[in-house]
Structure 1
Amino acid sequence: MGRHSLPDGLRRGGTGPRSHTRHRNVALATALVTILAGGTVAAIDSGLLSFGSSCWDSTVRLRIAAAPGIAPALKEAAQYARDHDVTSDGSCLDVRVTAQDTYKVADALRSKRKNATEFEAWVPDSGVWVDRVMADNQSISVTPAGNVASSPIGVAMVPSAAKSLGWPRKTYSWTELAGVTMTSDRLKLGAGDPSRSATGLLALTQLAQTAGKSKGGDTLAAATAKALSQRTSDSDGQVLDTLPRDLSGTEQGNPKRNQALILSEQAAFAYNESADSGDDLDLFYPKDGAPRLDHPFALVDEPNLTTDESRAALRFMTLLGERDGRRILEKHGFRTDEDETPAKLVAEAGGRAPQPYREVPERPATDKEIEEALGMWTITVQSARLTTVVDASSSMSDPVPGTSESRMDVTKAALLQALATFTPEDEIGLWKFSRRIDGKRDYRVLVPTDRLGDQVDGSTQRDRLSAAFSDLKPVKDGSTGLYDTTLAAYKEAVNSYTKGKFNAVVLLTDGVNQDAGSISRAGLIAELRKIADPERPVPLIAIAVGPDADKKELNEIAEATGGSGHLVTDPSQIHAVILKAVVKAGDTD
């Protein structure tokens, strides 16, 4: 875009790690800018948007909730607008900026809390939050209109730690940086909680993507997440407080302090600018690319805004894309142009050549990959107790379209993939079901739910589960005893509830109930509602596999427990769906 046009991102498009995937955002932003900016452009042409005029007889107030990192820059830009009589339709802009933790704003919007509409615009640090709100049909609407600044994410270290790793000449991938912090007792890595920090979440996603390309990558990613979970903070601001108070003193060896942090370039810049000592943080930029915070500008509850408020919001966003607005953002450590990497900013943030500070990931992370990383994190931090219940009816031998494998073959592979992401502290069990496969019962317990790290007769629970998953076979001519199995598995999971863990039943079926002598669907739902206990939550995660399964029915059954139903047309999607369901269940706790 031109430097004085309505901004729809930075000069070469969106700056965020997923700017190429947000088609719905682009459509909404295009419609918004077309409708509102048309009037703004006409006003400019007619002289209604006068600059430097006396406009305070008529003002338009705009309230903005902003991520703490960018709030100071936006406050300065708001003051600039007041000092220079920046106008919208002839009225002076009176912009009030409030710093608010982004995850709290997102939660308020999704919960439709009253305070969520106390502002007209929102500038979070990442489009991850906007996407999450937009994906929730029950939330207050947000309408993205562009991106105002970006900042890459790297690993900042105290000088002695950086020097020991060869900074600035030696470069590392994400997994290599995580690896050195896991193998050194004197180098502790801290981060913002990925469930509350986009910086932590985007770094974890990138790490998981990189690790996934190597043998045993899923296990490595889960192990890294587990180690990281021991040293997380609620916010990026709080994680900075975990650094040694004196970067050159003896306290840097304090095991309670972190010597390395996952941090944005702008956060490192701000820290170094305000540090009392001369020992600034040094910054590693991973050679496989640094994901970026993209700071979207979004209108909140746009249908209920007045035309003056909507135009004022776009006018302020336009100001941020103009020369003086960009100057303010750059002064605060933000990048404002994808074509330029300011060497001075990099140096003040702790970067030096030949650190690859221009590198971006090979491709942006997708919504699915981000949800998978967050699901892995949720399970890793809380630890899980999952009873996996797998349909073994004869229809599971049907081929998956486009492959030479059966539904059961692909289901087993997905379960083995999921198993690799769990830690020794997690508890997993396996049931299979068809109809009357264990006397009069429609189900059989293959591996009781237990801790993966426990050993019995020289074999771990993980080994037993891996073997049991691999040995799953459809029952010849077997039908689907869905209702009785679901009730039995849920009763057992509630009775064996483990406090402090994420307890759930994961049910996979490719059909509908075929046991005429079983409990009815209405009876099953009534029983589940009786058994479900909000104080001991055990959501049922019901996954319909293939075209013959009834997702609507499964969702109705699962919702009786606080869980959710999901449909997968390809069993290879099971792993991602489990993690997505874990995140959804965690959001409702």
Structure 2
Amino acid sequence: MARAQSDPTPTGAAPTRSAARAANRRGPSRILLVLVILLAVALVAVAGVVAVKVIGAGESAAAPGDGCLVADVRVVADPAVAGALEAVADDLGDSDAGCAQATITVEESAQTAAALAGGTHPEFDVWVPDSAMWPAWASSQAELEGEEAPIVVGDTVATTPVVFAATEETAAALEEQQAGFSSFAAAPVAAVLPDPTTVASSSAALLALQTALAGDARTFTGIVLGLATGVVPTADDALAAASAAPSPTVAVTTEQAVHAFDAAESADLVAVYPADVNAAVSVPFVTAGSASDETLAAVATLSAAVADAEDVLAEFGFRTAEGAPAESSASDTADAASDPVDSVNQAEALRTWQVLTAPSRMLSLNDVSGSMDEPATADLSRIDLFEQAAVRAINSLSSDSSIASWVFSSRRIGGQDWQEVVPMGPLSDPAHKQAMIDAANGLDGLVGGGTGLYDSVLAAVSYMRETYVPGQVNLVLLNTDGFNEDDDGLDLSALLAELEKLHDPANPVAVIAIGYGPDTDQSALEQIAAATDGAAYQALEPTDITTVLVDAVTQRGCRPYCG
């Protein structure tokens, strides 16, 4: 029986045909040779590579079409599919019929994809990832670097629907409510999402969510940022959380993952099929671009065998390539075939997730000119409302974000219009977070003077450009209630020209500008935002300040495409 291990580095080799023939000729040394062969096989098992269907001694490889592999095949398989693949390969032909050898190395799909994206030449003949998204992602990442991933995506051999896994009680309630991906907006239950950067079912779920929301980017962004706070590393972690949660909780995963978890953990989780988008993850065979014709013929034989092995696929929780379940189910929804998601769009959904959840590095540039003291309500001034909104915005940021606070009016330090209040620092530092909150609550004590808008914006963008940190969302959050009043500084055209010089589309420093009240020069804010690939908001009513500010902060990662 073939066994697949997880360590991909072989330290031994399978016995050869010449060794077998020599053993037949040298009777007295046969026992010693058998011991050597057993030791070699043991080393192979430790190394994580399993030999399946070794060519018989003194025999040649079988011809194509007789159920055997015609050439040795090196296979890299995701852990989720390795068991089913091994079972099929183990039953493919007979060692006495001259079948060639297949080796199966177990490796996470994200790891294989990352290597291919980085330009590593495939060390396999065929790769069987747990989703067609991974080769699409690897190819697109390679293209960004001006390279080409040397792989060819072949036929789909299996599928598995994206589901919500829950306890029986929670599942019954969700099915009665006809819950779907769009239900996340109302948050009827807590949802646990495996890390989309390593678990393909999560990026498929993100694409399904986009579809269910009909392109509502703002709602999608809000849901994604909510899901990001509860992300766990693996599907098993998500399933364990749903199983043990004291309150109604679902794990966003696949039907196959629920099947495997219940079998391994003796759990009793139920797969709930979303009522709005019926999505599925497809499992393809991916060949190396340099594979020989003989190898491709062997791969085709193995691929066809897996696609035809419906009973084996069902045993490991997979459906057929067409998406139909191998066995009937009491649930009409479960019986229906699921539609495999588009792999390219799924890869794009992953990139969207990475942008939205990237750590932020934000400079909050706050107007403290005299007009901010004007009444906004019967009891509160504009600066009072902004202070409350600023505290909420700070609390909405994740702990892996960094933030600084500047204020501006006119001639705060000599002829300089801007002033640093809190230097850049991580919100993971409780002292820094508290300093930011204290600074927000103390803005009313800094109010006075005119509005030195343009010089302050240029200084803030220049600072963020000079201290730019790759891999993070670097931005300036501009809050103002007026228009530029510094006649000695830059005018708008000069500011836009300077911003154009500083702009780097590949490494942008976006300005997200928020105008408070009807006196704001909203046209100028929109031009500033456009020059930096940012966005401009306006809160016409005083009570809109909190909503607009928190909305702008939480959507910082998708600018300028939030909708």
TM-score range, shorter chain: 0.5 to 0.7
| Aligned counterpart, 1:154 | 163
Displacement after TM superposition at 1:83 (Å): 2.8
Q: Tell me how many residue pairs correspond in the alignment.
A: 398
Which of the residues 325, 347, 362 maps onto 1:386?
A: 362
1:553-574 superposed Cα distances (whole Å, 9 cap, x missing partner) = xxxxxxxxxxxxxx999989xx
| Aligned counterpart, 1:98 | 105
Kept after mapping to 1: 8 A contact 2:356/2:556: no
Structure 1 distance, partners of 2:203, 2:341, is: 18
Structure 1 distance, partners of 2:136, 2:507, is: 23
| Aligned counterpart, 2:305 | 319
| Aligned counterpart, 1:505 | 474
1:475-521 superposed Cα distances (whole Å, 9 cap, x missing partner) = 7xx9x98xx98663344567xxxxxx97553599x999967xxxx99
| Aligned counterpart, 1:335 | 319
Secondary structure at the residue paired with 2:158? Answer: coil
Displacement after TM superposition at 1:271 (Å): 3.3
Structure 2 distance, partners of 1:49, 1:429, is: 67
Instruction: Assess, with a 3 A threshold, how the Cα gap between structure 1 residues 262 and 357 changes in structure 2: closer, same or farther.
Output: farther
User: Could you tell me the TM-score, scaled by structure 2's length?
Assistant: 0.55
| Aligned counterpart, 1:489 | 464
Which of the residues 531, 542, 559 maps onto 2:508?
A: 542
| Aligned counterpart, 2:260 | 270
Instruction: Assess, with a 3 A threshold, how the Cα gap between structure 1 residues 456 and 289 changes in structure 2: closer, same or farther.
Output: same
Q: How does 1:114-513 map to 2 (within 5 A)?
A: 117-137=122-142, 138=147, 140-163=149-172, 165=173, 167=175, 169-176=176-183, 179-180=186-187, 189-211=191-213, 217-218=219-220, 220-229=222-231, 232-233=232-233, 235-242=234-241, 244=243, 252=244, 260-274=250-264, 276=266, 280-300=268-288, 302-303=289-290, 305-321=291-307, 323=308, 325-338=309-322, 341-342=324-325, 344=327, 346=329, 352-353=331-332, 358=337, 360=339, 365=345, 367-379=347-359, 384-387=360-363, 423=397, 426-427=401-402, 488-491=463-466, 503-506=472-475
Structure 1 distance, partners of 2:509, 2:274, is: 37
Which of the residues 48, 51, 54 maps onto 2:66?
A: 51
1:291-311 superposed Cα distances (whole Å, 9 cap, x missing partner) = 3211121113x22x3332233
Displacement after TM superposition at 1:161 (Å): 2.8
Instruction: Assess, with a 3 A threshold, how the Cα gap between structure 1 residues 217 and 177 changes in structure 2: closer, same or farther.
Output: closer
Displacement after TM superposition at 1:159 (Å): 1.9
| Aligned counterpart, 1:80 | 91
1:62 aligns to 2:37 (yes or no) = no
Report sequence identity in percent. Answer: 19
Displacement after TM superposition at 1:458 (Å): 8.1
Displacement after TM superposition at 1:62 (Å): 0.7
- For 1:104, give the aligned amino acid: Q
Displacement after TM superposition at 1:259 (Å): 5.0
Kept after mapping to 1: 8 A contact 2:510/2:533: no
Instruction: Assess, with a 3 A threshold, how the Cα gap between structure 1 residues 98 and 155 changes in structure 2: closer, same or farther.
Output: same
Instruction: Assess, with a 3 A threshold, how the Cα gap between structure 1 residues 181 and 99 changes in structure 2: closer, same or farther.
Output: farther
Displacement after TM superposition at 1:74 (Å): 0.7
Instruction: Assess, with a 3 A threshold, how the Cα gap between structure 1 residues 441 and 121 changes in structure 2: closer, same or farther.
Output: farther
Kept after mapping to 1: 8 A contact 2:329/2:335: no
1:170-203 superposed Cα distances (whole Å, 9 cap, x missing partner) = 4102142575465xxxxx5433211111112222
Displacement after TM superposition at 1:263 (Å): 1.8
Kept after mapping to 1: 8 A contact 2:402/2:424: yes
Secondary structure at the residue paired with 1:287? Answer: coil
1:254-282 superposed Cα distances (whole Å, 9 cap, x missing partner) = 68xx9532221112223344554xx6321
Instruction: Assess, with a 3 A threshold, how the Cα gap between structure 1 residues 177 and 283 changes in structure 2: closer, same or farther.
Output: farther
- For 2:319, give the aligned amino acid: R
- For 1:291, give the aligned amino acid: A
Secondary structure at the residue paired with 2:301? Answer: helix
Larger Rg: 2
Kept after mapping to 1: 8 A contact 2:280/2:340: no
Structure 1 distance, partners of 2:138, 2:280, is: 20
1:353-400 superposed Cα distances (whole Å, 9 cap, x missing partner) = 456854659988465444212322344xxxx223499xxxxxxxxxxx
Secondary structure at the residue paired with 1:132? Answer: helix
Displacement after TM superposition at 1:49 (Å): 1.8
Kept after mapping to 1: 8 A contact 2:162/2:273: yes
Structure 2 distance, partners of 1:327, 1:355, is: 17
Q: How does 1:560-579 map to 2 (within 5 A)?
A: none
Secondary structure at the residue paired with 2:124? Answer: coil
Structure 2 distance, partners of 1:460, 1:199, is: 46
Secondary structure at the residue paired with 1:295? Answer: strand
Structure 2 distance, partners of 1:485, 1:254, is: 47
Kept after mapping to 2: 8 A contact 1:78/1:96: no
Instruction: Assess, with a 3 A threshold, how the Cα gap between structure 1 residues 354 and 102 changes in structure 2: closer, same or farther.
Output: closer
Kept after mapping to 2: 8 A contact 1:85/1:93: no
- For 2:117, give the aligned amino acid: R
Kept after mapping to 2: 8 A contact 1:172/1:287: yes
Instruction: Assess, with a 3 A threshold, how the Cα gap between structure 1 residues 362 and 309 changes in structure 2: closer, same or farther.
Output: closer
Displacement after TM superposition at 1:206 (Å): 2.8
Instruction: Assess, with a 3 A threshold, how the Cα gap between structure 1 residues 178 and 158 changes in structure 2: closer, same or farther.
Output: farther
Displacement after TM superposition at 1:239 (Å): 3.8
Instruction: Assess, with a 3 A threshold, how the Cα gap between structure 1 residues 292 and 569 changes in structure 2: closer, same or farther.
Output: farther
Instruction: Assess, with a 3 A threshold, how the Cα gap between structure 1 residues 97 and 134 changes in structure 2: closer, same or farther.
Output: same
Kept after mapping to 1: 8 A contact 2:162/2:255: yes
Instruction: Assess, with a 3 A threshold, how the Cα gap between structure 1 residues 334 and 177 changes in structure 2: closer, same or farther.
Output: same
| Aligned counterpart, 1:548 | none
Structure 2 distance, partners of 1:157, 1:580, is: 31
Secondary structure at the residue paired with 1:344? Answer: coil
1:17-64 superposed Cα distances (whole Å, 9 cap, x missing partner) = xxxxxxxxxxxxxxxxxxxxxxxxxxxxxx9425168x9xxx621111
